[in-house]
Each structure stands twice: as C-alpha cells, then as structure tokens.
Amino acid sequence: MKGDIMKSAAPDSTLAFSAEEQAAVYKCIFTRRDVRGQFRPEPVPDATLARILKAAHHAPSVGFMQPWDFIIVRDMGVKQRIHAAFRRAHEEAAAQFDDERATRYRALKLEGILEAPVGLCVTCDRSRAGPVVIGRTQQRDMDLYSAVCAVQNLWLAARAEGIGVGWVSIIDRDELRAALGIPEAIEPIAYLCLGHVSHFAARPELETKGWLPRLKLGDIVWFDGWRRKSGKESLLSELE
C-alpha cells in the first residue's frame, strides 16, 4: 500500500479516504511531537528515509518552485560543529530571559543533535525558478513558506513511520551555513534531528512543563474580520 500510493504518478483525485484512513491522518497530526531527548541509536533504514524525503518533496510550493534541498548529516564531526553552534546560540538565548525564566529555559532539552542518527538540513534556494515566480510577485517570502511546508510534510511522514523529528532553530544561520558549506545565497530553513525514539510524548513538553499552555481554538477563530465575533456562530461550539 505504502509503495502503491507513492509510485502512482496520478492517483485518482476522486479517491475518497475511508474512515480508517481519515483516522490515520488525524492520528499522525495529533501524535506528532517535536523530539529532543528520546532518540535511539539504531540507524534509520534508507528505504524509510527515502519515503520521508519523498513526502517532503511533495509539499506544496509557490509557483511549483520546489525551492528546497535536503542535506543529510551522518558524520559525527559535522554534527559536532553544529552542536557547538547550538551551544553558543543557547547561551545567548538564555541571557535574554529574566532570572526565573532563564533557569527554567536552561533546564529544557532543546536539541538532539549528537544523539539522533540522522541530521537533516532543509534549505531554500530563493532563485530556483528564476526572477519571476507565479504567486511570489507580491509576497517574496512565499518561497520560504514553501520550504516550511516541506518540513511539515516530512515531520508528519516521519511520525507515520515511527521516526521522531526535532527542529533545532537555536543556531546562528551563518554558523550552520559554515558547518554544511551552504552558499550565501541559499537560506537554511530548518536543521532537523531524526531517529527512532523510545516514545512519543502525549503532549508538547513546553505544555507539560508549564512553559505555555495550548491556546483555546475558540479564542482565536474570528468571523469576517480581525477579532470579529458574532456570538451566534454554531462553529464555535464545535471547536471546544
């Protein structure tokens, strides 16, 4: 099944999802987690990694620009350079919080760079499809957003494969460029840690540790304008 759906170039667009398939999609979305501390050392099989990368490559992109490249990092020396960059950025970050928050910040594990068997840098080539791209004429950042869509596809596909993913953004972009030999013109979008995990937490760690709560969806959905609510909307009761 996995192979069939991936090989078919033009799946039937009318193909409905069965109830089980729908449930599987939502299961994937709701049980996806950012993983930092639970990586296991077993390698990720090439076939699994290939499926995850294909899912990323099938993300939507502005003007079908597909601005992404994927740099797979397995070399411990390269990982150590990236980890050193993380440590520097992490120190700078801690200094930006007030005393109590800084102590709690330092206690969080915010990366799994050395433990995760696979590192993966997703980049954005801002000139990939030439100077004028459908959909990017007014909003230049749409290429960056497209690359982020690839990350999300990857994250969900990995979850379906039982592979944990952790996004490490506490790294200076130029240091990441230097560690991976990424040219100046290419934008690093995400450095991700991938691997089998001992478990997926039921809820985000920042939620369970009391850093921030999940917002109530009903408090951030509006109708016909910024922060407009009529009070009569039946949708609101469905959001609880």
Ligand X SMILES: Cc1cc2nc3c(=O)[nH]c(=O)nc-3n(C[C@H](O)[C@H](O)[C@H](O)COP(=O)(O)O)c2cc1C
Integer-rounded Cα Rg, in Å, for the chain is 20
**Which ranges of 161-240 does DSSP label H, i.e. alpha helix?**
173-180, 205-208, 235-238
Residues whose CB is less than 8 angstroms from the CB of residue 117 and which lie 6 or more positions away in sequence, other chains included: 39, 41, 42, 43, 44, 74, 194, 195, 196
CB–CB of 116/39 below 8 Å? yes
Kindly determine how many residues on this chain lie close enough to bind ligand X according to the rule CB under 6 A. Answer: 11
> Does 170 participate in binding ligand X (rule CB under 6 A)?
yes
Nearer to ligand X, 85 or 129 (CB): 85
> Does 33 participate in binding ligand X (rule CB under 6 A)?
yes
> Does 206 participate in binding ligand X (rule CB under 6 A)?
yes
Instruction: Specify the stretch interacting with ligand X by CB under 6 A; choose among 5-13, 42-50, 168-176, 221-229.
Output: 168-176
Which of 119, 143, 167, 197 contacts ligand X by CB under 6 A? 167
> Does 37 participate in binding ligand X (rule CB under 6 A)?
no
Residue of 166, 185, 158 whose CA lies nearest to 111: 166
> Does 169 participate in binding ligand X (rule CB under 6 A)?
yes
> Does 168 participate in binding ligand X (rule CB under 6 A)?
yes
Share of the chain residues as helix, strand and coil, in percent rounded to the nearest 5: 40, 15, 45
> Does 204 participate in binding ligand X (rule CB under 6 A)?
yes
Binding site for ligand X (CB under 6 A): 33-34, 36, 110-111, 167-170, 204, 206
